[in-house]
Amino acid sequence: MKTLVVVAAGVADRPQEELGGRTPLEASQTPALDRLARDGRLGRLVPCAEDVRPEEGAFALACYGLDPQAYPDVGATLDAAAFDVPVGSLDQAFRLSLVTAHEDTIFDPTAGHVSREEARMLLASLSEGVGDADLLFLPGDGWRNLLVWRGARDVRVRTLPPYEVVGRSVAAAMPRGTGTARLVAAVSKSGDLLPRHDVNECRADLGENPATLAWAWGPGVATPLPAFSERTGLRAAVVGVDPTFVGAGKLQGLRVVRPEGATGTVATAYRSKLDAALAALEQEDVVFVHVGAAAEASHSRDFVAKVESLERLDASIVGPALREAERRSDLRLLVVAGEAVACDSGRHLHDPVPFAMYGAGVRSHRGDAFTEVAARDGGFLVERAHELLDFVLHTA
């Protein structure tokens, strides 16, 4: 049996005034998702416990069948794995987001999706300007980067993701904890150094949001994860570019496939991801496809982009994947809405999210549509997200 898992991050939401009191899923034209709900088994999933942040790696681990509460300190080391950055046993890693800040608040948590080359130059300048040999500023894929703090494994740090600081005081949201003064000083220093950088002057001239602050969040320390193949007896691959999701797979020994044109934004190459996933299924038993466009649109508070991302997901990934599952007797398809992200606030939610499975051995429960309300009314709830994969793999 082959299993294709499509993780559509940020798809679930709450009713939005700008959409006439509908959720983006309800406002979108998604015939393939709705057919999946009608002809397959529709349910909903609690993304993680209330005291755990899904965006810091909890939901990524759960999608692979790992209980995130067993790995509470993994954090940004997932991203480090995706970027091939080693984190020493005595070190602590942080996600380092390049953001646009003005007058003590963040208003663009992605700095206009600053490019990797721009990030490289900005972080090189920051490293020189901060002048702390224990703080390593390392480029990732653009606005998502890394900070590795050498020798700081035992420093206890509490942080907030940048999209939770939008419209709030940066000073009040700074990293907190005993021994964090050097980290706070580095974040503050970035607010002095980066606005004057040539990269940002050029971006301003082009009418693009400058990267004026480097925001550290999501701390993590080196944490071994069990191999997926040994745990399940199956070979697997992950398709996508989201560093947290890809890194979580890589640390479990999954083969990583980065499709041409995949960006993690609304402009990502949707069909390229599916084609890569179907090709990977020729060699692997399970393939995970991560699509982060809806989450990025939500973080940008862009309702139009979120609806567009849902309709493109439906047409270019879910529709062809469903047709593939219909014609094959050895393929099972799971589409899970990923952690919910509110389009009006840009914040992650703990709300249950819809999922639907289809294929060999899956009995139809005739859901009305792939929406938050239809999934709730269906009455099928998975309360521990990490148990969903096992259920899908072993459903008779």
What is the domain-level CATH number for residue 59? 3.40.720.10
Is residue 76 situated within a structural domain?
no
> Do residue 99 and residue 146 come from a single domain?
yes
> Do residue 264 and residue 372 come from a single domain?
yes
pTM: 0.95
Domain count, the chain: 2
Is residue 380 situated within a structural domain?
yes
- Output the CA–CA distances (angstroms, integers) from residue 330 to 39, 254, 257, 321, 362, in the order listed: 17, 21, 22, 13, 12
> Do residue 267 and residue 283 come from a single domain?
yes
> Do residue 153 and residue 261 come from a single domain?
no
Domain that holds residue 362: 2-70+225-394
> Do residue 248 and residue 388 come from a single domain?
yes
Q: Which residue has the tokens 């914040």?
A: 347
> Do residue 233 and residue 266 come from a single domain?
yes
Is residue 77 situated within a structural domain?
no
Q: Which residue has the tokens 């859901």?
A: 367
The confidence score (pLDDT) of residue 396 equals 54
Is residue 29 situated within a structural domain?
yes
Run of H or E residues at 271: helix 270-280
The confidence score (pLDDT) of residue 170 equals 95
> Do residue 176 and residue 49 come from a single domain?
no
List, for the chain, all residue ranges whose pLDDT scores fall below the cut of 70: 262, 264-265, 267, 396
Instruction: Of 77, 69, 25, give the one whose Cα is nearest residue 387.
Output: 69
* Interatomic CA distance for residues 265 and 212, integer angstroms: 21
Instruction: Of 336, 354, 261, 396, give the one whose Cα is nearest residue 65.
Output: 336
Q: What angle do CA 275, 343, 219 make, to 5 degrees?
A: 80
pLDDT, tens digit (0-9, with 9 covering 90-100), for 156-204:
999 999 989 998 999 999 999 989 999 999 999 999 999 999 999 999 9
Amino acid sitting at position 23: T
Cα 146 vs. chain centroid, distance in angstroms? 15
Instruction: Of 101, 161, 119, 190, give the one whose Cα is nearest residue 298.
Output: 161
The confidence score (pLDDT) of residue 264 equals 66
Residue 103: burial class (beta carbons within 10 Å; 0-12, 13-18, 19+): exposed
Q: What angle do CA 341, 345, 351 make, to 5 degrees?
A: 35
Is residue 75 situated within a structural domain?
no
